A = this chain, B = another copy of it.
Amino acid sequence: MAAKLIKGAEVAAQIREELKKEVEELKAKHNLVPGLVTILVGQDPGSISYVTAKQKTSHELGFYSIQDNQEPDITEAALLALLDKYNKDPKIHGILVQLPLPKHIDSNKVLYGINPDKDVDAFHPVNVGRILIGNYAFLPCTPAGCQELIYRAYGDPKGKEVVVVGRSNIVGKPMVAIMLQKRVGANATVTCVHTGTPKDKMIEHCRRADILIVAAGVPNYIQADWVKEGVCVIDVGVNRIGMTESGKAKLAGDVDFAAVSEKASFITPVPGGVGPMTITMLMKNTVMAAKMAAGLVKL
């Protein structure tokens, strides 16, 4: 294999070390303890495992951390009232509502009920707007993780050709907004291709890319003859393509890993690439939110 593997868990561990030191400094110098509440509605096993992992990491980093469990029949009004309590709580700097929510609750209404300065998932329109404007404190966790992987493995994308495959609100569109800013870790020429792009153009664009970020949701979509030698490939796809013999989900990315990794200079594996970064980016956002609340960072 020609490409160097970008191992998300290793980069994430490095960032958590940096955050741990920063949290110690914030405590020592400013008596500031980042506070995170994760709100879980119901008992979905997947959701429980996600919030448990988030709580575990926030404890390890020395945060003030609350796991708030709510019954699945909580009303939308009661959930909004709960958010309001945390919006006003000066010890809480980050509020995360674990998705999905039960069907009787309007998820957007709930997400938009979080104080934008505590919206560490960065899904609130105010935060999306701040990102496009280029004056932001934190970024949605998945594209932020992609940016860190690129910057720390491949180097500064400044002046490079970045091609983003996909235009979801969770990955593709914020990724475009992030990479075209005049900031360190960005300042790239950015092209976004998507389901509206004709196939021949899709392939042409992928072939031009110095950095190819793929969030298409189609297993093994990107072929080896679609990429140029030396490309840096960030594969955001997580597709279930069957079961392993032991009954676990078998995962594939959006990139034909075996073939593409022969041509790429850097590539993220699936699993083990982008995935392990997201919780760490949530922690980074919470530290940033705490610093904003304390006036140590200003927008």
Contact = CB atoms under 8 A, between A and B. Distances in A.
Interface of A: 124-134, 158-159, 161, 167, 169, 173-174, 176-177, 180-182, 187-198, 201, 205
Given A189-B205, A191-B190, A134 B196 contact: no
Contacts of A169: 132-134
Contacts of A124: 129
B177 A187 contact: no
B125 A130 contact: yes
> Which of A169, A173, A192, A205 neighbours the largest number of chain B CB atoms within 10 Å of its CB?
A192
B205 A197 contact: no
Given A126-B129, A201-B161, A180 B189 contact: no
Contact of A177 (B158, B177, B181, B189): B177
A180 B159 contact: no
A131 B131 CA distance: 12
Contacts of A195: 182
Contacts of A158: 196
Contact of A196 (B167, B188, B196): B188
B125 A174 contact: no
Number of copies: 2
Contact of A182 (B126, B167, B182, B189): B167
Contacts of A205: 189
Contact of A132 (B129, B188, B191): B129
Contacts of A182: 167, 194-196
A258 to B, nearest CB: 28
Contacts of A187: 196
A129 B134 contact: no
B188 A180 contact: no
Contacts of A173: 132-134, 177, 180
A46 B170 CA distance: 42
Given A125-B125, A125-B130, A180 B192 contact: yes
Contacts of A134: 169, 173
A9 to B, nearest CB: 30
> Which of A133, A176, A177, A191 neighbours the largest number of chain B CB atoms within 10 Å of its CB?
A191
A184 to B, nearest CB: 11
> Which of A159, A190, A196 neighbours the largest number of chain B CB atoms within 10 Å of its CB?
A196
Nearest to A182: B196
Contacts of A133: 125, 128, 169, 173
Chain A to chain B: the 8 pairs with minimum beta-carbon distance, closest first:
A125-B129, A129-B129, A128-B129, A187-B196, A191-B191, A189-B197, A125-B126, A180-B192
A14 to B, nearest CB: 27
Contacts of A128: 128-130, 132-133
